[in-house]
Amino acid sequence: MAVRATASRFPIDSDALEASGLPWGLTVTPFASKDESGIGPAYGSNGHLLPRCEHCYAYFNTYCELDQWAWTCSLCGTLNGLPSDAIARYSYPHDSIPEMSSSFVDLELPLDGSEQEMTQARPVYLAAIDLSSSEEFLELTKSALLAALEALSPGSLFGLATFSHKIGLYDVQGPIPVVKNVFIPPDAERKLPLELEDAMPLLQFLAPVETCKDRIAAALETLRPITSWERSSGAAQGIDGVLMGGRGFGTAMEALFNYLGSEFGNTFALARVFAFISGPPDYGRGQLDTSRYGEQYASKRVDADRALLPEQTPFYKDLATIAVESGVCVDLFAVTNEYTDLASLKFVSIESGGSLFLYSSTDDSTLPQDMFRMLNRPYAFNCVLRLRTSTEFKPLHSLTIYPCMQYGHFFPDPQYENLQHIICCDSYATYAYDFDFANNTGFSRHSREPPVVQIAFQYTVVVPPEGLQNSELPSSNRGKHLLQRRLRIRTMQFETAQNINETYDSVDPEVVLSLLVHKVILVSLEDGVREGRALLHDWLVILTAQYNDAYNLVQYKKGNKSMSSQIDITFSQCPQLEPLPRLVFALLRNPLLRFHEEGVHPDYRIYLQCLFSVLEPSSLHCGIYPSLVSYSTPDKQAYPRHSLSRAALITSGSPIFFLDAYTTLIVFYTSTADPSLPFPPPQDCLLRKNINMVKQGRSITPKLMFIREGKDDATAFENYLIEEQDVDGSGFASARGFVSFLDDVSQSVAEYMK
């Protein structure tokens, strides 16, 4: 569990918080195997026996004062009696007791009633493939699923389904694959004429991977796009006989969720559905009107940057509810460059605990690698996240972009405050909170009780047979996947800043950026992109003004009576704040907040919202302001970081640059590079090793490009040199750029300070 705060020293009270101009909060990556320093938890069992505070319900931890018969809560100060079993346990040496030896623990819990009743917990996977597509789309999907089959553990069950104007169910347990089709009614009101269970029993449809892998692969080879004749005969006829389409995605998903739900809690605890779609649903239930994309500029009364952000139908939110009730988590893979309205479709994945992927082309898509990578990492489900604080402050908001969203998005418990539910998460999923003071008093300057944060994370994992101690299992359960419920707790103490300088000197700019990104996305969804940009600009102006006020006050107290009229726009006296103007400029230049007039596709904007809102701070920093490293040779690094400008390239004199933009990696050889330097870099060189290290640490597979200036098209690389681009204009290089942006901010600060 990695936790990072906006500042390691907390503001002393609400006045100090307001004077700083900074957001106050933290990010948490609960299923990360180690903390932010690379240290793992102390593991143990009997988590249900861990003492809890009678007043605030916090868990006992290493910061609590312990007597022979009682303990004092480190969060609220309540004196609690120790139960007899804890008294006996804590009489042993502390090193043998996880909660006594570490403030970061991971303890096994007994399963609850429903989980205990499960006779087995086999991993279940279902692929739903769009046949209203192209040969290229199907070839890419086949490659991805073949990669997925290699990543699935023995004992997994796999089902193959297709959708168009009909749903196809594949039986691969016989000698040859057999498909049974159920036709989808064309209108949104009518349901399927036949239940899928009646067409093919579910346990006949779900095939064991270890014995049927070759037959699943053979079934994939039989997939073909539906022909125009099939489309015209199966699809609906609209007004004047116009064809209404043949991609019945909504009806197919609803039917498949209900189909799987019959075995939820018996065969499986969580089923994962991989939905591959090549365009917008235009048939059956959940049809989407894509004409609004072309009409967004037609009316001057509608903000074009706001028109395409809201969903146009609640159908897919309701569909996600059905998925959750059926024990289904949906990962949506959209491979298309046409407008598909991901603003509506995203909910079926993110609200069911899955993730959203977008690929604009089949040519250089990383879909197969992403599938393999996703299935190779562990995941937790049925999770509960609870953040508690000491009494002086409280969580103000959990910064979730949607009412219920996984991968950085969670939904609040309707009954308990500050309790969040997470359907499913992996070791990369990151969540954000911001804080406020509980009263006007704040923290006492003379108190010996520091601010404390405790984060508790309950989760369930499926443990494969090889991960269990067979000697501890009844013979009926040996060789089976079983559920394991665990409790992970992290308790942290923070210091308080006695003045604003201590606050500024302890800032973590990457965490500040994370909270800013969450806030501007929320504002963009509610009020449009322009409002999100305005919020970001105003925040930087206020921060700069507060910083200059604080600096001038310090100078005055030192006896320097001549106050400088020059505004320090670059935070030259505070290294921790120096990156923030560049980060804000880069965020304004990012497609997340750029205007539609610059060619930002609305589906790509939605994809970035979903991606950026789940990244841990360092990864988000990379996605907003890419790192640029120079090399004198493929085996020798020259400088670890450059600004994103053409001037930086010229002045450095280095022949090779490596740019990391999180989703894209570019190796760029300048026109002045010695022709004897090997291109592309050899596999055993330092540069390649660094590239591979970066790729291994990513939640998605970055696209790798090699470019030689003067011989290859360098546009992809030059587009990242944002510091010479106009922050509000066309995006083309101009005399404006970052320097001009600072001038504009400086003028706004001067007006604000007046």
pLDDT-based confidence at 732, cuts 50/70/90?
Answer: very low
The stretches of 286-378 forming alpha helices (DSSP H) are: 291-295, 304-307, 315-325, 342-350, 367-376
Which range, of 186-200, 269-283, 287-301, averages the lowest pLDDT? 287-301
Residue found by looking up tokens 């069911």 in the block: 352
- The three-state secondary structure class of 510 is helix
CB atoms within 10 A of CB 429: 26
Give the model confidence (pLDDT) of 649-698 as tens digits: 888 889 999 999 999 999 999 999 999 999 999 999 999 999 999 999 89
Amino acid at 460: T
Residue-wise pLDDT tens digits, 493-507: 999 999 999 999 999
Buried (b) or exposed (e) across 196-210, using 16+ Cβ within 10 A?
A: beebbebebbbbebe
Q: Decide if 268 contacts 124 (C-beta within 8 A).
A: yes
Instruction: Quote the CA–CA distance of 648 and 639 in Å, as a whole number.
Output: 11
Highest mean pLDDT among 115-124, 232-241, 261-270, 515-524: 515-524
- At residue 200, the pLDDT reads 95
Residue 643, pLDDT > 90, answer yes
**d(C-alpha 698, C-alpha 208), whole Å:** 30
Average pLDDT on 40-50 reads: 93
Are 570 and 742 in contact by the 8 Å Cβ rule? The answer is yes
Helix (H, G, I), strand (E, B) or coil at 506: coil
CA dist 67 and 49 (Å) reads 18
Query: What contacts 326, CB < 8 A, 6 or more positions away?
Result: 257, 258, 260, 261, 264, 271
Structure tokens at 18: 């307001």
pLDDT digits (tens, 9 = 90+) for 547-588: 998 887 766 566 565 555 688 899 998 999 999 999 999 999
The pLDDT score that the predictor gives to residue 305 is 66
Residue 599: pLDDT above 90?
no
For residue range 692-724, list pLDDT tens digits in order.
999 998 989 999 999 999 999 999 999 999 998
Residue 20's H or E segment, with its range, is: helix 14-20
Write the pLDDT tens digit of every residue in 466-516: 655 544 544 445 457 788 999 999 999 999 999 999 999 999 999 999 999
Pairwise CA distance, residues 402 & 125, whole Å:
26
Tell me the pLDDT band of 604, cut-offs 50, 70 and 90: very high
* Integer Cα distance of 535 and 537 in angstroms: 6
**Under 8 Å CB-to-CB from 340, ≥6 apart: which residues?**
277, 279, 280, 288, 290, 334, 603
pLDDT at 551: 82
Q: What is the pLDDT of residue 419?
A: 86
Indicate if the pLDDT at residue 296 is higher than 70. no
Average pLDDT over all residues of the chain: 87
Q: Which residue has the higher pLDDT, 292 or 483?
A: 483
Q: CA-to-CA distance for 562 and 552, rounded, in angstroms?
A: 9
DSSP state string for 55-121:
TT-PBP-TTSEE-SSEEE-TTT--EEEPPHHHHHHTTS-GGGSHHHH-SEEEEEE---HHHHT-S--
pLDDT band at residue 116 under the 50/70/90 scheme: low
Q: Is 453 within 8 Å of 422 (Cβ atoms)?
A: no
Give the contacts of 655 (CB within 8 A, at least 6 positions apart).
Answer: 631, 632, 633, 669, 670, 672, 673, 674, 677
Question: By the 8 A CB rule, do 535 and 519 touch?
Answer: yes
Task: Tell me how far apart the alpha carbons of residues 582 and 569 are, in angstroms, rounded to a whole number.
Answer: 11
* Mean pLDDT of the 395-424 span: 65
pTM given for the model: 0.90
- Give the HSE-up count for residue 410: Cα atoms under 13 Å, Cβ half-sphere: 29
pLDDT tens, position by position, 345-403: 999 998 888 999 999 999 889 999 999 999 988 999 989 999 999 999 999 866 554 43
For residue 563, the SS3 value is coil
Burial of residue 564 (CB within 10 Å: 0-12, 13-18, 19+) is: exposed
- Residue 57 reports pLDDT greater than 70: yes
Asked whether 169 and 218 are in contact (CB, 8 A), the reply is no
Residue 426 pairs in a beta bridge with: 379
Look-up: residue for tokens 């040199």? 721
Q: Which residues contact 423 (CB under 8 A, 6 or more apart)?
A: 324, 329, 351, 352, 353, 381, 382, 383, 404, 406
Q: How high is the pLDDT of residue 400?
A: 53
